[in-house]
């Protein structure tokens, strides 16, 4: 079997992202949150360092969500009936998404907090 080219691999990856966002609720929520965060970043005039942090944690959350969705889909295919081992694996993967999301919220508060306070006239200039 011939190995796919680099661009074919990129296409497969993109197909996986699109499929996951179209078929799963939580990834859609995270993508909508990302759009809002990017718009807020433009409004707040983030520094390059702040953009780097925001993009890093956003990628962290979306990657965790994609891994979680992949594991869930594979687990459901392997064992469609309830299995406590599969349940624990799925719960652990969902926990990974939760950790990533909590981390992103913390970074978001640190990055956006001073900008929001400044806009409200209660932060340092």
Q: Pick the residue with more confidence: 123 or 20? A: 20
**pLDDT in the model for residue 125:** 66
Residue 1 belongs to a domain: no
Residue 19 belongs to a domain: yes
pTM of the model: 0.90
Q: Residue 67's Cα: distance from chain center in Å?
A: 10
Mean pLDDT of 86-109: 98
Q: Whose CA is closest to 26, among 65, 71, 73?
A: 65
Residue 106 belongs to a domain: yes
Question: What Cα–Cα distance (Å) separates residue 75 from each residue in 25, 71, 88?
Answer: 18, 6, 11
Mean pLDDT of 62-87: 97
**pLDDT in the model for residue 1:** 83
Residue 3 belongs to a domain: no
**Active-site residue numbers?**
65
Mean pLDDT of 91-106: 98
Residue 125 belongs to a domain: no
Residue 12 belongs to a domain: yes
pLDDT at residue 107 above 70? yes
Residue 84 belongs to a domain: yes
Are 58 and 34 a contacting pair, CB within 8 Å? yes
Q: How confident is the model at residue 12 (pLDDT cuts 50, 70, 90)?
A: very high
Q: Residue 27's Cα: distance from chain center in Å?
A: 7
Q: Please state, rounded to an integer, the average pLDDT across all residues of the chain.
A: 96
**pLDDT in the model for residue 49:** 99
Q: Which domain holds residue 47?
A: 8-119
Mean pLDDT of 42-50: 98
pLDDT at residue 62 above 70? yes
Return the CATH number at 28.
1.10.287.3610
State how many domains the chain has: 1
Residue 67 belongs to a domain: yes
């Amino acid at each position: 079997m011939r190995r796919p080219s680099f661009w074919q691999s990129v296409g497969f990856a993109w197909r996986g992202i699109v499929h996951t966002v179209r078929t799963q609720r939580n990834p859609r929520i995270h993508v909508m949150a990302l759009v809002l965060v990017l718009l807020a970043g433009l409004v707040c005039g983030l520094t390059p360092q702040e953009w780097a942090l925001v993009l890093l944690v956003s990628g962290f959350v979306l990657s965790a969500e994609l891994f979680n969705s992949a594991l869930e889909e594979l687990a459901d295919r392997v064992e469609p009936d309830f299995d406590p081992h599969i349940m624990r694996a799925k719960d652990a993967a969902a926990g990974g998404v939760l950790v990533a999301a909590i981390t992103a919220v913390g970074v978001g508060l640190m990055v956006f907090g001073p900008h929001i306070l400044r806009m409200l006239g209660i932060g340092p200039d």
